[in-house]
Amino acid sequence: MNTSPRTAKRYHVCVLAVVLLSCWIASFPLAADTFFFSTGNPNGLIATVSRVASPGKLETETADDFVTTQPALITSATFIGLLPSGTPLSDVSRVEIELYHVFPLDSTFPPDGRVLTRTNSPSDNNFDARDSSVPGQLTFTTTLLNASFSAGNSVVNGINPSPNQFTGGEGSVSGEEVQFNVTFTTPFDVGVDHIFFRPEVGVASGDFLWLSAPKPIVAPGTPFLSDLQTWIRTDGPGALAPDWERIGTDITHQGPFNAAFSLSGTIIPEPSSLIFLGSALLACIVFQRRWRLQRDPKKR
């Protein structure tokens, strides 16, 4: 039985459609495409503590935000801050990274009213975390950028619930400017989202103070319209948590501020696009098989 010209034409049209569809899919981001975000370089306006708990010191968290416009795997990060002058980089014992949604996700709502506002703050609870003290989660190195760097103001201990939230800050600070280079052994898998990034550092003596970056973000940073300011809280007995306060608007009446960090990774292809392509290829295979059976009925 010979294949009719009409059937052959349909087959060739199917092949052409799949080729064109493949070219269209190729115009979309694939897994090898890069995700990158940065707030830019430190501007020296303020430095704020972000430390793990230690004897006599509450855990204190500073967080700043970023956005993802496509699903991504975040595989690495950098953040820049101050260590006390003369601190050997080997004294850094631990790095912990947490990701938070924007309030009221992952939070008690309504809030408890101990701060001026929770609008645009990080949520009560993180939705994902990595810790260098847990095998297989993250590794880090440190790079000394400047042996002496100063910030015009600081927030270390003056983190109080309303109505005592305003302190003006705790004055200028100096120290070693250090960049932390973090590799996520287990990457963060995030969707299209608005997320707060919170690094913490454990140091044998003294504190890590995260340096501010320009707000609004400027080159070489990655500006975005919904950029929020940095927030801070203490965590532990008698602490501010689960609430957060704005470092600029609430505590210092300066700024508002961003914090110096960057994120890198890869874009995840949209599942709908891959399903679309797979369906088209499957349809073409089925059509091709029927065409061959029509040409040679003995293969049935």
Q: Which residue has the higher pLDDT, 2 or 187?
A: 187
3 state SS of 281: helix
Please tell me whether residues 22 and 45 are part of one structural domain. Answer: no
The answer to whether the predicted template modeling score (pTM) of the entire model surpasses 0.75 is: yes
Nearest CA to 273 out of 6, 31, 12, 16 is that of 31
Please tell me whether residues 18 and 55 are part of one structural domain. Answer: no
**Looking up tokens 């009925």, which residue turns up?**
297
Residue 161 is encoded by which pair of tokens? 């619930």
Residue 75 is encoded by which pair of tokens? 């595989």
Query: Is 32:268 a contact under the CB 8 Å cutoff?
Result: no
Please tell me whether residues 280 and 234 are part of one structural domain. Answer: no
Please tell me whether residues 227 and 278 are part of one structural domain. Answer: no
Overall average pLDDT of the 21-37 stretch: 62
Overall average pLDDT of the 227-254 stretch: 97
Domain assignment present for residue 35? The answer is no
Nearest CA to 243 out of 254, 252, 232, 253 is that of 232
Q: Above 60 in pLDDT, residue 99?
A: yes
pLDDT given at position 285: 52
Please tell me whether residues 217 and 89 are part of one structural domain. Answer: yes
Domain assignment present for residue 9? The answer is yes
3 state SS of 248: helix
Strands 173-190 and 209-213: unpaired
pLDDT given at position 179: 98
Please tell me whether residues 87 and 224 are part of one structural domain. Answer: yes
pLDDT given at position 89: 93
Please tell me whether residues 181 and 234 are part of one structural domain. Answer: yes
**Looking up tokens 């699903």, which residue turns up?**
71
Nearest CA to 241 out of 105, 95, 126 is that of 126
What confidence tens digit (pLDDT) does each residue in 38-85 have?
999 999 999 999 999 999 999 999 999 999 999 999 999 999 999 999
The chain-wide mean pLDDT, for the chain, equals 87
Nearest CA to 245 out of 171, 158, 172 is that of 158
Please tell me whether residues 89 and 20 are part of one structural domain. Answer: no
The domain in which residue 133 lies consists of 41-268
Beta carbons within 10 angstroms of residue 126's beta carbon: 17
Domain assignment present for residue 100? The answer is yes
Overall average pLDDT of the 274-282 stretch: 50
- Model confidence at 271, pLDDT cuts 50, 70, 90, reads low
Please tell me whether residues 169 and 244 are part of one structural domain. Answer: yes
pLDDT given at position 23: 46
Identify the bridge partners of residue 212 per DSSP, sorted by sequence position: 259
Please tell me whether residues 258 and 278 are part of one structural domain. Answer: no
What confidence tens digit (pLDDT) does each residue in 167-223 have?
999 999 999 999 999 999 999 999 999 999 999 999 999 999 999 999 999 999 999
Query: Is 179:145 a contact under the CB 8 Å cutoff?
Result: yes
Domain count, the chain: 2
pLDDT given at position 154: 98
